[in-house]
A and B are shown apart, each in its own frame.
Chain A
Amino acid sequence: MKSEKNRERPNFVIGFCRYFLVVLTAFAFAAVPTMVMAAEEVEGISKLGINIPGLIAQLVNFLILLVVLKIFLWGPILKVLDERKRRIEEGLNRAEQAASDALATEEEARKVIEEARADARAQNLRSQESAAKLREELEEKAKQDAAQIIERAHEEIRLQREQLVQQLQSQFADLTIRAAERVISQSIDKSAHQRLIDEVLTESNFGQEKEN
Chain B
Amino acid sequence: MRAAIIAVSLLLLVGVGVVFVGGASPAIIVAPEKVFHWPVIGSVTNTMFTSWFVVIFLIVLAFSVGRRLSLVPSGFSGAVEAAVEAFYNIVVQVAGEKNGRRFFPLAATIFFFILTSNYFGLLPINNVIGLTEVNPGFADKHVEMSQSEIPIVGLNVAYIPTTPDSVDLAAGEKAYIEYNGEREYKTAKDDHKDHSNAAPVKDTSSKESHSHEGETITGFNGLIAPYFRSVMTDVNAPLAIAIFSFLFVEFWGLQTLGVSYLSKFFSFGKLLKGDILGGIIDVFVGLLEFVSELSRMVSFTFRLFGNIFAGEVLLLMMTFLVPFVLVDVFYALELFVGLIQAFVFAMLTLVFAVTAVSHHGDEAH
Contacts and interface: CB of A to CB of B under 8 A. Distances in A.
Interface residues of A, number: 39
Interface string A167-204: 00000000000000000000000000000000000000
A65 to B, nearest CB: 5
A207 B243 CA distance: 153
A78 B104 contact: yes
B247 A25 contact: yes
A87 B70 CA distance: 13
Contact of A58 (B84, B109, B239): B239
Interface residues of B, number: 46
B31 A47 contact: yes
B244 A62 contact: yes
A50 interface: yes
B31 A49 contact: yes
A154 B85 CA distance: 109
A72 B63 CA distance: 6
Contacts of B105: 66, 69-70, 74
Contacts of A81: 81, 85, 88
Contacts of A65: 55, 58-59, 109, 113
B237 interface: yes
A53 B237 CA distance: 11
A37 interface: no
Interface in A62-107: 62-66, 68-70, 72-74, 76-78, 80-81, 83-84, 87
Given A29-B243, A62-B241, A73 B66 contact: yes
Contacts of A68: 58-59, 62
A54 B244 contact: no
Contacts of B58: 65, 68-69
Most buried by B among A29, A54, A87: A54
B345 to A, nearest CB: 12
A55 B85 CA distance: 31
A77 B243 contact: no
Interface string A1-19: 0000000000000000010
A80 B109 contact: no
B114 to A, nearest CB: 10
A68 B63 CA distance: 9
A4 to B, nearest CB: 17
B247 A58 contact: no
B65 interface: yes
A80 B240 contact: no
A73 B251 contact: no
A99 B123 CA distance: 54
B101 interface: yes
Nearest to A63: B244
A58 B112 contact: no
A81 B106 CA distance: 18
Contacts of A46: 31
B234 interface: yes
B281 interface: no
A110 B58 CA distance: 61
A48 B112 contact: no
B104 A74 contact: yes
Given A69-B105, A76-B66, A48 B31 contact: yes
A21 B252 CA distance: 12
Contact of B71 (A29, A61, A83): A83
A132 B30 CA distance: 113
B216 interface: no
Interface of B: 30-32, 42-43, 45, 47-48, 51-52, 55, 58-59, 61-63, 65-66, 69-71, 81, 84-85, 88, 101, 104-106, 108-109, 112-113, 234-237, 239-241, 243-244, 247-248, 251, 255
Interface of A: 18, 21-22, 25-26, 29-30, 46-51, 53-55, 57-59, 61-66, 68-70, 72-74, 76-78, 80-81, 83-84, 87
